[in-house]
A and B are shown apart, each in its own frame.
Chain A
Amino acid sequence: NAGVMQNPRHLVRRRGQEARLRCSPMKGHSHVYWYRQLPEEGLKFMVYLQKENIIDESGMPKERFSAEFPKEGPSILRIQQVVRGDSAAYFCASLQGANTGELFFGEGSRLTVL
C-alpha cells in the first residue's frame, strides 16, 4: 500500500455539509479508481479516472457525487449535501497503466455523517 496517500483518514460531517476526499496516486501512476465500502459489504466501484479525464463513472450516484483528477494535484472525490447513508469507507487505488496488473490501494478515508 505504500505510496497511495489518502486524506483525511477520518472525516465527520453533519447532514447537508460537503465532504472532500483526496487521493495522491503512487509516483508514475496515471490511473485512479475510487471504491466505496459499506460495513459488512465488499468494495463497490465508483469511478475510474485518468489525468483530466473521467473514463467510467458508472458506479457514481447520479446526484451529489463528483470526482476529478486534475493535471496537477490529487484526485478528489466530492460529496455534496451529505446524508447518513453516505457514511462509509472510501478507498482510492492507483494503477500505472491500463492492463498492467494490480491496483495499489490507499488506507482509505472513513466518512461519518451525523
Chain B
Amino acid sequence: AQSVTQLDSQVPVFEEAPVELRCNYSSSVSVYLFWYVQYPNQGLQLLLKYLSGSTLVKGINGFEAEFNKSQTSFHLRKPSVHISDTAEYFCAVSGSSGTYKYIFGTGTRLKVLA
C-alpha cells in the first residue's frame, strides 16, 4: 500500500519569490509520482509526473520536481511564482506495476501575495 504526506497545508509566498511544496510518500513497491493543481471550483490538472528515468522532472507553468528515492520525497519547486499560481496543489502516488490505486495527499494551498 502507498501513502502520501503533504506537511504544509498552506504556504504564503510573495510574488516573484521561489517556492517549494513538500511531498513525502511511503510504498513497498516502485512508484509513479504526480503533482496536480486545482483552481477554485475546477477539477485537477496534471502539473508533472515521474514514471521513470531522470529524477528531475519539468512540468507546465515553470514547475519542476525532483524524485528522491532515498528520502522518499517528491518536492515541487518554482523559482519565481506569479499571482496566477495561487491554487491548491496535490501530490499523488501509485504503484508502478501490479497496482492501480492512486493515493492523494491532503493538499497544499499556495497563496501568492502581491
Contact = CB atoms under 8 A, between A and B. Distances in A.
Interface stretch (A14-22, A77-85, A100-108): A100-108
A72 B91 CA distance: 33
Nearest to B4: A42
A42 B106 contact: yes
Contacts of B41: 108, 110
Nearest to A31: B100
B107 A42 contact: yes
A98 B100 contact: yes
Contact of A99 (B43, B100, B103): B100
Interface string A31-49: 1010100000111010010
A91 interface: yes
Contact of B44 (A45, A48, A91): A91
A56 B100 contact: yes
Interface of A: 1, 4, 31, 33, 35, 41-43, 45, 48, 55-56, 91, 93, 98-99, 101-108, 110
Interface of B: 6, 32, 34, 36, 41-46, 49, 51, 90, 92, 94-107
